[in-house]
């Protein structure tokens, strides 16, 4: 059933103090599975960002002054509406982003959980009471909203990765300007604007302005935007971090990854190959936590490779909107050509192709490569596609060295028959998240999420981390009678 509504209020528009025509005009929404035009969005330019920032700064004062239970009620209503509108939102996620229906449904439920968690934040303690060496003095430390938070979200999990920042930022009293990627602007932005608008969020508190690098740069540089939350490539994240550093602006960077799954010599090979397939091929591998490197002990390497290749060959690739498939299309031709180039260059350098390595249009077959060494492109680069490169090691020390040989440090996984061995190895791995006897693609809304090294600047999303991520700390001291100093 087609749940996509044509001629919607957002067609060719942005959301900024209502549904308005943007300075950048309209842009078509292209379905990657078919190449068909399925809608249109407005594209923002710097003048749209400027108007939104001024509006948000003004609206934020009333928003943070609203009683906490009223702010919480709006977020709960937004969660209810998100769930109620699941059929329409999921269809857009499938058609606009190439998600399978199972992936879209999981993403929407995870986003619903994010909203419920955020709705509970306004009623939590706002600070702490500290002792003082001064008799009669009270020391308070409290968290205050930043003001206006700019959120730049990617196209791969557009709903969840937008709401992961938007919901807690709103909950603690900020106004938010969301710039979704134009390739996912409907599901990852404009439908969310409708949800918040209908939930009763006051005008000006939330703006959705799809746009390209020019709009993103304007958002990052705007003096009335006090924080940037960016999810995307490491190269762009470095540039954003540099600008925010110069402006002394808070920034949260969740960047790329080249995540490794380590299969130790006492691992369950069948279970490990299942985890490896899921980690590499889920959503066509277009996930920052994708399992990009399979490091396997030499004694298990041949068996693991055979099982992984067998799983890859059984996966169906096609249009997820019309067919029951495991993998949908890649997001665009540029991404497909980049992935194929990495595969071809690695084969030319000596890797062996066991499965896949071919495509039709934007549909890339799940690919398994063996004989991969640390100097090959498929080992060194973030693939962001359905490719599983296998590299052999002989000892735990060598495995750790291979994992940490990447500048990235987002996620890792270790498979072993001994939890104590897995825990010991995890402490030596430089990654923000390590999963023992699981795969690298994991997210729980209440657990701090983030990377190390080239995968981020140490910022964390989720649970208690959100309180500090989207606020700033203020120390207030109080004393009944003024202190008399020596002069």
Are residue 318 and residue 368 in the same domain, yes or no? Answer: yes
Are residue 71 and residue 84 in the same domain, yes or no? Answer: yes
Are residue 29 and residue 145 in the same domain, yes or no? Answer: yes
Residue 346 CA to residue 335 CA, distance in Å, equals 17
Asked if the structure places residue 102 within a domain, the reply is yes
Q: What is the pLDDT of residues 129-162, one digit of tens each?
A: 999 999 999 999 999 999 999 999 999 999 999 9
Over residues 474-483, the mean pLDDT reads 95
Q: Kindly tell me if the per-residue pLDDT of 445 is higher than 90.
A: no
Are residue 51 and residue 183 in the same domain, yes or no? Answer: yes
Residue 231, domain CATH: 3.40.605.10
Note the pLDDT of residue 464.
87
Q: Kindly tell me if the per-residue pLDDT of 6 is higher than 70.
A: no
Over residues 478-487, the mean pLDDT reads 94
Residue 332, domain CATH: 3.40.309.10
Q: What is the pTM of this model?
A: 0.95
Asked if the structure places residue 450 within a domain, the reply is no
Asked if the structure places residue 481 within a domain, the reply is no
Note the pLDDT of residue 7.
58
Are residue 246 and residue 271 in the same domain, yes or no? Answer: no
Q: Kindly tell me if the per-residue pLDDT of 204 is higher than 70.
A: yes
Q: Kindly tell me if the per-residue pLDDT of 190 is higher than 80.
A: yes
Domain count, the chain: 2
Residue 185 CA to residue 195 CA, distance in Å, equals 14
Asked if the structure places residue 448 within a domain, the reply is no
Q: Kindly tell me if the per-residue pLDDT of 240 is higher than 70.
A: yes
Are residue 394 and residue 462 in the same domain, yes or no? Answer: no
Asked if the structure places residue 479 within a domain, the reply is no
Are residue 189 and residue 280 in the same domain, yes or no? Answer: no
Over residues 259-269, the mean pLDDT reads 98
Are residue 292 and residue 194 in the same domain, yes or no? Answer: no
Are residue 327 and residue 363 in the same domain, yes or no? Answer: yes
Alpha helices, H only, 172-264: 191-199, 213-221, 234-246
Are residue 234 and residue 316 in the same domain, yes or no? Answer: no
Over residues 258-276, the mean pLDDT reads 98
Asked if the structure places residue 290 within a domain, the reply is yes
Residue 259 CA to residue 439 CA, distance in Å, equals 10
Q: Which residues are tagged catalytic?
A: 254, 288
Averaged confidence pLDDT in the chain? 96
Asked if the structure places residue 352 within a domain, the reply is yes
Backbone angles phi, psi at 366, to 5 degrees: -55, 130
Note the pLDDT of residue 92.
97
Reported as a pLDDT band with limits 50, 70 and 90, residue 458 is: confident
Burial bucket for residue 73 (CB in 10 Å: 0-12, 13-18, 19+): middle
Q: What is the pLDDT of residues 385-424, one digit of tens each?
A: 999 999 999 999 999 999 999 999 999 999 999 999 999 9
Q: Are 196 and 132 in contact (CB under 8 A)?
A: no
Q: Kindly tell me if the per-residue pLDDT of 283 is higher than 80.
A: yes
Q: Are 131 and 203 in contact (CB under 8 A)?
A: no
Are residue 222 and residue 85 in the same domain, yes or no? Answer: yes
Note the pLDDT of residue 460.
85
Reported as a pLDDT band with limits 50, 70 and 90, residue 1 is: very low
Q: Kindly tell me if the per-residue pLDDT of 344 is higher than 90.
A: yes
| Tokens standing for residue 484 | 């008399």
Range with lowest mean pLDDT among 8-17, 329-338, 368-377:
8-17
Give Cα separations from 113 to 167, 271, 460, 462 (angstroms).
10, 29, 17, 11
Residue 108 CA to residue 261 CA, distance in Å, equals 27
Are residue 77 and residue 212 in the same domain, yes or no? Answer: yes
Find the domain containing 428 and state its range.
259-436
Residue 59 CA to residue 344 CA, distance in Å, equals 53
Range with lowest mean pLDDT among 37-51, 348-362, 440-454:
440-454
Reported as a pLDDT band with limits 50, 70 and 90, residue 303 is: very high
Asked if the structure places residue 451 within a domain, the reply is no
3-state secondary structure of 454: coil
Note the pLDDT of residue 10.
87
């Amino acid at each position: 059933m087609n749940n996509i509504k044509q001629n919607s209020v957002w067609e060719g528009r942005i959301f900024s103090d209502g549904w308005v025509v943007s300075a950048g005009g309209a842009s078509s929404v292209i379905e990657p599975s078919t190449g068909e035009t399925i809608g249109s969005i407005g594209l923002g330019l710097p003048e749209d960002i400027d108007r939104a920032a001024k509006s948000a700064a003004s609206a934020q004062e009333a928003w943070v002054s609203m009683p906490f239970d009223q702010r919480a009620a709006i977020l709960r209503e937004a969660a209810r509406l998100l769930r109620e509108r699941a059929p329409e939102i999921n269809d857009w996620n499938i058609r606009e982003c190439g998600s399978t229906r199972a992936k879209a449904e999981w993403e929407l439920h995870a986003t619903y959980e994010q909203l419920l968690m955020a709705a509970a934040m306004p009623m939590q303690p706002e600070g702490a009471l500290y002792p003082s060496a001064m008799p009669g003095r009270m020391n308070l430390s409290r968290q205050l909203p930043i003001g206006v938070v700019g959120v730049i979200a990617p196209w791969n999990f557009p709903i969840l990765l937008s709401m992961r920042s938007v919901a807690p930022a709103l909950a603690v009293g900020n106004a938010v300007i969301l710039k979704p990627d134009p390739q996912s602007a409907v599901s990852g932005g404009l439908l969310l604007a409708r949800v918040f608008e209908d939930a009763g969020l006051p005008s000006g508190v939330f703006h959705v302005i799809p746009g390209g690098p020019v709009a993103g740069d304007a958002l990052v540089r705007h003096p009335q935007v006090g924080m940037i939350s960016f999810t995307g490539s490491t190269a762009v994240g470095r540039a954003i971090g540099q600008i925010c550093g110069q402006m002394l602006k808070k920034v949260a960077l969740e960047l790329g990854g080249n995540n490794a799954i380590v299969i130790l010599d006492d691992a369950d090979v069948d279970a490990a190959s299942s985890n490896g397939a899921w980690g590499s091929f889920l959503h066509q591998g277009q996930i920052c936590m994708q399992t990009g490197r399979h490091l396997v002990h030499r004694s298990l390497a041949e068996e693991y490779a055979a099982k992984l290749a067998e799983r890859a060959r059984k996966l169906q690739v096609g249009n997820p909107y019309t067919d029951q498939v495991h993998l949908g299309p890649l997001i665009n031709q540029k991404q497909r050509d980049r992935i194929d180039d990495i595969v071809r260059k690695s084969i030319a350098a000596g890797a062996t192709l066991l499965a896949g390595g071919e495509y039709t249009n934007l549909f890339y077959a799940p690919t398994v490569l063996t004989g991969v060494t640390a100097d090959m492109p498929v080992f060194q680069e973030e693939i962001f596609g359905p490719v599983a490169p296998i590299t052999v090691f002989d000892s735990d020390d060598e495995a750790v060295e291979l994992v940490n040989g990447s500048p990235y440090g987002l996620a890792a996984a270790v498979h072993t028959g001994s939890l104590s061995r897995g825990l010991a190895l995890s402490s030596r791995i430089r990654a923000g998240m390590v999963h023992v006897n699981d795969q690298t693609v994991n997210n729980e809304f209440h657990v701090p999420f983030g990377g190390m090294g080239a995968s981020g600047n140490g910022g964390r999303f989720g649970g208690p981390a959100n309180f500090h991520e989207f606020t700033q700390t203020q120390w207030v001291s109080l004393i009944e009678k003024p202190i008399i100093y020596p002069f």
